[in-house]
């Protein structure tokens, strides 16, 4: 039985439609899940919707509908985006209605309480509704929330608190030992610095009155609801019915080789400090990896529904297609840093790398196999040094791109694949099979054997490239593999003999985008 892995995105608020930042995280996590599956892991891939926030309540009031009606409607926009992006998940969890989540969140609260980690006290603080988070004055920039650029509201009420301070030493140990790995190193350093500066206990409930009666009630106190983050973080285990010995929980969380959270830098503290502390207190296994991406920006400013500068990913998908959008996001943007969105770069990336690159390569090769060898791949009989070099480069690209994805570096993986595409195109130009064909027609048997080798080795490189592209552009990869008669479910380790296969001349697998 293969080793298992768990991969999750964060679950977004559904107070409005998704923006390009959501699309970025979705395809990042999808590429990681697909990569792990491609190298032999049995993967559970989770996403969902964070529905118990005050943001959703206020948006519903503004729209003149119930909060449940608002989240029921808006969650469909996120599900539609996943489908348009070709993101295939194992489960989609909804925190306002999923019974496993409602029961699991309450049980984790009870475990923390039984452990002596919850107490009540009066509290006054500065609260940003956009972040659903209290801020210290020192955290603000010119008196404003650094994420949403608005002044937080002063709030005074009686809340329950979690004794986070009790877990400072344990958190530092799991991070320093590598039991919980934070990627990249700069985010690990940031997390450790935050812990070493001294952890304060955190508020984990809100008055039911201020929450407008929306949220998961605190066990034993219906006048309070769970703070949305404390509720939402538990979704990662609550996708399973872990209270009733769910075998999925035993296999994909407790027994998983890797438990990977993909998230933005703005919620690092919640996932690398608060959530592990909650798991330690509840006696549940920790994640193994927290992969922290940056923001997609517009003129240097984070894309945000609140800031009104969000780009609608569905419009991009409708205009350019799934391959173009996925490829742009994963090839253009750093997995860990910020990057500015530019539509012209999307078009350039697609045209240069896909249409003119791998698309042109497979079109040339399949056309020549059809013309010179009756649409059947010839044997690799006349291979020489150039063929050996291309094979070696192909094998190295497989190793390099797999290693990059093991580090969650989709941009590096695609850069290495792109180098192989360029080398393969250059190889075809150097070997000039059209000239070899003329010489073969004139009776040159050595030229005929060399032509066989060129067509075979070129198509062999194509099928390796196509498989390596599967985590990033699954539909484009499928079309490439079909062009060379390869099973779209195979891996680089399961490739069989190419010679003798029928090949159909490929049309424009990646049609150029004209603007």
DSSP 164: G
Question: Which is catalytic among the residues 100, 305, 410, 464?
Answer: 305
Catalytic status, residue 261? no
Tokens of 506: 């490929």
Question: Which is catalytic among the residues 55, 100, 101, 145?
Answer: 145
Cis before 172? omega within 30: no
Do residues 318 and 42 lie in contact, with contact meaning Cβ atoms separated by under 8 Å?
Answer: no
Question: How many CB atoms lie under 10 A from the CB of residue 485?
Answer: 17
Question: How many CB atoms lie under 10 A from the CB of residue 198?
Answer: 8
Q: Establish how many alpha carbons lie within 13 A of residue 387's alpha carbon, considering only the half-sphere containing its beta carbon.
A: 18
Question: Which is catalytic among the residues 148, 212, 265, 505?
Answer: 148
- 10 Å CB burial of residue 185 (0-12, 13-18, 19+) is exposed
Catalytic status, residue 457? no
Q: How many Å separate Cα 27 from the centre of its chain?
A: 4
d(CA 30, CA 23): 10
Question: How many CB atoms lie under 10 A from the CB of residue 445?
Answer: 10
Catalytic status, residue 100? no
Question: Which is catalytic among the residues 55, 100, 261, 302?
Answer: 302
Question: Which is catalytic among the residues 35, 55, 131, 261?
Answer: 131
First to last CA, the chain: 50
Catalytic status, residue 148? yes
Catalytic status, residue 131? yes
Longest dimension (CA), the chain: 94
Q: What are phi and psi of 268, to 5 degrees?
A: -60, -45
Question: Which is catalytic among the residues 55, 128, 261, 271?
Answer: 128
Dihedral of CA 177/180/185/190: which sign?
Answer: negative
Catalytic status, residue 293? no
The H or E element spanning position 156 is strand 153-162
**Residues with a known catalytic role:** 19, 22, 128, 131, 145, 148, 302, 305
């Amino acid at each position: 039985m293969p080793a298992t892995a768990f991969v999750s995105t964060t679950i977004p608020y559904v107070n409005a439609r998704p923006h390009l930042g959501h699309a970025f995280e979705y395809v990042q996590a999808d590429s990681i899940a697909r990569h792990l599956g491609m190298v032999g892991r049995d993967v559970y891939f989770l996403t969902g919707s964070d529905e118990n926030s005050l943001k959703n309540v206020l948006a519903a009031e503004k729209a003149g509908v119930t909060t449940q009606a608002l989240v029921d409607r808006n969650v469909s926009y996120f599900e539609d985006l996943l489908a348009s992006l070709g993101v295939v998940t194992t489960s989609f969890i909804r925190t306002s209605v999923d019974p496993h989540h409602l029961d699991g969140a309450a049980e984790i609260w009870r475990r923390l309480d039984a452990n002596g980690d919850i107490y009540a006290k009066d509290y006054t603080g500065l609260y940003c509704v956009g972040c659903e988070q209290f801020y210290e004055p020192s955290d603000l920039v010119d008196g404003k929330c650094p994420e949403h650029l608005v002044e937080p509201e002063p709030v005074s009420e009686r809340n329950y608190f979690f004794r986070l301070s009790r877990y400072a030493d344990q958190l530092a140990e799991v991070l320093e030992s590598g039991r919980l790995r934070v990627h990249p190193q700069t985010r690990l350093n940031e997390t450790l610095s935050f812990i070493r500066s001294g952890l304060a206990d955190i508020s984990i409930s809100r008055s039911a009155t201020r929450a407008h009666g929306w949220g998961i009630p605190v066990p034993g106190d219906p006048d309070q609801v769970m703070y949305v983050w404390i509720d939402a973080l538990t979704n990662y285990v609550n996708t399973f019915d872990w209270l009733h010995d769910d075998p999925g929980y035993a296999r994909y969380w407790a027994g998983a080789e890797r438990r990977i959270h993909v998230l933005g830098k703005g919620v690092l503290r919640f996932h690398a400090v608060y959530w592990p502390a909650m798991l330690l207190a509840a006696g549940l296994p920790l994640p193994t990896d927290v992969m922290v991406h940056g923001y997609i920006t517009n003129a240097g400013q984070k894309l945000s529904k609140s800031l009104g500068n969000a780009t609608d990913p569905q419009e991009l998908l409708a205009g350019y297609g799934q391959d173009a959008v996925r490829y742009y996001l994963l090839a253009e943007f750093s997995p860990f840093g910020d990057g500015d969105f530019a539509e012209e770069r999307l078009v350039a990336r697609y045209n240069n790398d896909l249409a003119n690159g791998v698309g042109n390569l497979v079109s040339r090769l399949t056309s020549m196999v059809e013309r010179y060898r009756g649409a059947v791949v010839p044997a690799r009989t006349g291979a020489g040094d150039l063929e050996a070099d291309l094979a070696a480069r192909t094998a190295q690209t497989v190793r390099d791109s797999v290693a990059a994805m093991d580090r969650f570096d989709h941009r590096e993986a695609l850069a290495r694949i792109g180098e192989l595409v360029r080398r393969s195109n250059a190889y075809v130009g150097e070997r000039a099979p059209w000239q070899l064909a003329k010489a073969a027609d004139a009776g040159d048997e050595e030229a005929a054997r060399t032509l066989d080798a060129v067509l075979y080795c070129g198509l062999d490189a194509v099928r390796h490239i196509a498989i390596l592209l599967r985590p990033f552009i699954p539909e484009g990869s499928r079309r490439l593999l079909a062009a060379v008669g390869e099973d779209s479910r195979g891996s680089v380790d399961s490739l069989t003999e190419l010679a003798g296969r029928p090949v159909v001349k490929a049309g424009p697998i990646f049609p150029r985008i004209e603007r």
